Amino acid sequence: MIRILILFQFLIAKLDSFIFMGLEDINAFYYAKNFGRNALPKSYFRMYFKKLMEYKKTVDPDLLQKRVDYYLKGNKNFQIPEAAVAVKDFKKTKGTGYYLDLKEFLHYFNPQVKFAYHFGDELHINPYPTLFKARMLEVDNANSVLFKLNKRRHFKWVEDATPFGKKNKKVVWRGRAHQKQRRDFVEKFWEHPLFDVGLITPKQNDLPLHKGFMDIPSQLGHQFIACIEGFDVATNLKWAMSSNSLCIMPKPTCETWFMEGTLKAGIHYVEVKDDFSDMEEKVTYFSEHAEDSKEIIKNAHQHVAQFKNKKLEDLLCFLVLEKYAQLSGQEDYLRFKS
């Protein structure tokens, strides 16, 4: 039975790596894969942990430390928060995806080890170190520890075979507009000939700003993909930066595991003012200067490449939790010997 479960996980991982946009988009597959992994015996996690530790020896330690310290800032010790939950007591509460993303790495820690976490889009800062999906930039956000949460929705990549110069010279955006900045953006460019933007929310069908759903392959036919923040980061930013289109957006105000805070205007994306007043001007310029556009796209691809190595990403997730356990003074935190 154990061998069958391990073979099941191996086959799923192989299939998932070869299908465009991944089988993760299919609910039945996603839940079978992830809940199935949680049901695997201790020997499976011991084996994978050993592989991660062997892999760690091959990775530049400075690269690992830089990423880990970016997600969990500083090296100051802290007391385990009262709100922290022990591994043995961790249960699904808000958001199945969030639960599965954290549970995947709790298998490597002893049952008594505790972590404080928050699931959801909220950006508040707790008075104690807490695992969050996102955090605000340009504030004292050290207590918001970034973890790779809700990754099924956020960490998608595309294979885009169409060169920038062959794409439609327009800006595309589809989404919901529960936030003022998105509504302002759509209202401003709803009828503009250089823009194909609109709302997709069903309950807003009666509004003139509604244009209906547009799938990702269709959006990739445009030179510019607008990435407008919602409750936190722009969800489409990750796949847009992996495409041959230009990301165009105001300066990010928050970040996730994708390290949006390290993105530079004119290097990784085209930056516009918060009120979008210079957006038409930027679109015209970069449409006419293909070499400048291609350089930004190349840099965007290089940023994305950091997150495409699953084994490296898994190792970093573990290391962030390990640093949390160490700084909170939790002894004998590892379930397996490294």
Q: What is the model's pLDDT at position 206? A: 58
Evaluate if residue 8 carries a pLDDT over 60.
no
**Is residue 239 domain-shared with residue 142, that is, in the same domain?**
no
Q: What is the model's pLDDT at position 16? A: 45
**Is residue 277 domain-shared with residue 208, that is, in the same domain?**
yes
Q: What is the model's pLDDT at position 15? A: 46
Structural domain span for residue 138: 61-154+309-327
Confidence of residue 144 (pLDDT cuts 50, 70, 90): very high
Residue 267 lies in a domain: yes
Phi, psi at 10, each rounded to 5° = -65, -45
How far is Cα 96 from Cα 107, in angstroms, rounded to an integer? 17
Among residues 137, 120, 116, 138, the alpha carbon closest in space to that of 128 is found at 116
How far is Cα 194 from Cα 280, in angstroms, rounded to an integer? 8
Residue 175 lies in a domain: yes
CATH of the domain at 295: 3.40.50.2000
Q: What is the model's pLDDT at position 23? A: 56
Mean pLDDT value across the chain: 90
In single-letter form, the type of residue at position 76 comes to K
Confidence of residue 338 (pLDDT cuts 50, 70, 90): confident
Helix and strand element counts for the chain (H, E): 12, 11
Stretch 139-145: mean pLDDT: 97
**pLDDT tens digit string along 80-110?**
999 999 999 999 887 788 999 999 999 999 9
Residue 129 lies in a domain: yes
Evaluate if residue 334 carries a pLDDT over 80.
yes
**Is residue 239 domain-shared with residue 129, that is, in the same domain?**
no
**pLDDT tens digit string along 172-209?**
999 987 788 998 999 999 899 999 999 887 665 556 67
**Is residue 120 domain-shared with residue 205, that is, in the same domain?**
no
How far is Cα 297 from Cα 203, in angstroms, rounded to an integer? 35
Q: What is the model's pLDDT at position 21? A: 43
Residue 222 lies in a domain: yes
H-state helical runs in the chain: 2-16, 27-38, 42-56, 61-71, 96-106, 151-154, 180-189, 216-219, 237-241, 279-288, 290-305, 310-327
Pairing of strands 246-249, 270-271: parallel
Q: What is the model's pLDDT at position 17? A: 44
Q: What percent of the chain has pLDDT over 70?
A: 91
Q: What percent of the chain has pLDDT over 90?
A: 76
Residue 90 lies in a domain: yes
Evaluate if residue 150 carries a pLDDT over 60.
yes
**Is residue 288 domain-shared with residue 315, that is, in the same domain?**
no
Pairing of strands 85-86, 114-115: antiparallel
**Is residue 100 domain-shared with residue 194, that is, in the same domain?**
no
Residue 92 lies in a domain: yes
**Is residue 314 domain-shared with residue 298, that is, in the same domain?**
no
pTM of the complete model beyond 0.85 = yes
Evaluate if residue 11 carries a pLDDT over 60.
no
Q: What is the model's pLDDT at position 278? A: 98
Q: ∠ CA 36-40-45 to the nearest 5 degrees?
A: 120
**Is residue 288 domain-shared with residue 316, that is, in the same domain?**
no
**Is residue 192 domain-shared with residue 239, that is, in the same domain?**
yes
**Is residue 71 domain-shared with residue 199, that is, in the same domain?**
no
**Is residue 141 domain-shared with residue 262, that is, in the same domain?**
no
**Is residue 171 domain-shared with residue 148, that is, in the same domain?**
no
Stretch 114-141: mean pLDDT: 96
Question: How many structural domains compose the chain?
Answer: 2
Token pair for residue 263? 């993105």
Phi, psi at 238, each rounded to 5° = -65, -50
The CA-to-CA distance between both ends of the chain, in Å, stands at 27
202-206, 244-248, 316-320: the lowest-pLDDT one: 202-206
